[in-house]
Structure 1
Amino acid sequence: MSDVAEKKEHPRGVAGTIWLLEHAQDLISVVVGVLLVVMAVVVLVLGIVDFFRDVTHESVETAAVNLLNQILLVLILVEITHTVVLSLRAHHLVTQPLLAVGLVAVIRRILFVLSSEAAASTAELALLIAMVAVFVAALIFVSRYDRTET
């Protein structure tokens, strides 16, 4: 057979170990991404089912808040999946989706605190509002000074 038909060899030694680790990391990232999508679908379907059950047994307001909570959780899972996909493509961690996940998580917590029957502490609400401000500022900063766009 010709040289073209020769089997491509994998690197050996340290280079081989690095190659193996990179491929193992990619495989694990793919599995995690698939599991995140499955979880998002399950949470969304259960949220919709719970919404219709809650409407018949409780107030529409309570059902809507619970559905919004589930939808925000699905949004967090989707954003994390997006981060995994971008990391697989670029082979480095992408900042903006992680900041978006943090922002959605804080907003979700604020909605939960405000919708619960227990009194919310002023300190907790102030901290959550400060976190929203920090995440928004970080998103603005990263979008303005992202090195990949230049």
Structure 2
Amino acid sequence: MCLVEFTNIKCTSPDLEHVSFDYCYLKSVNRTYKYLSLKGIMYKKPVSNVKVTFALLKKFSGYKPFLYNITVDACKSLRNPNANPVFAFFYGFYHDFSNLNHTCPYNHDVIVEKLPISHVDHQFSKLLAFPTGEYQFFTDWFIKGINRATVRIYFRLY
């Protein structure tokens, strides 16, 4: 059984005319309840041409690719998330805690609210077994082929 601990989160937007982040943080309520929240503000709605790169990196003298690095058409993948098992695994991390639970177009801001560490721990210990170490979950969000947002979640597996 592994134990996951969030260590940091970084949300950036290379194009502030399209996307900015209202908030992006980790919160430790007590020793057992910790969560992640973020809100991406979309300025040019509706959004219907979205590709997402998901990568899992492991720290080996810097963060190196580990196991997964995929790019998917988010609009197509959200129509049938289970068609791509790797997408389904990553989507499983946040879909119950976000408003990214429908297909395009998106006429609203993107919110991930109070994603608990216990849920992430379940993904890593019950669904797939991962070795202990420090990891980075990396996502790039492309709208109309241009990188509009990057979210990096850092965590440690014990």
Shorter-normalised TM-score: what interval? under 0.3
The higher radius of gyration belongs to: 1
Tell me the TM-score normalized by structure 2.
0.23
Tell me the TM-score normalized by structure 1.
0.23
Task: Identify, as 1 or 2, the structure richer in helix.
Answer: 1
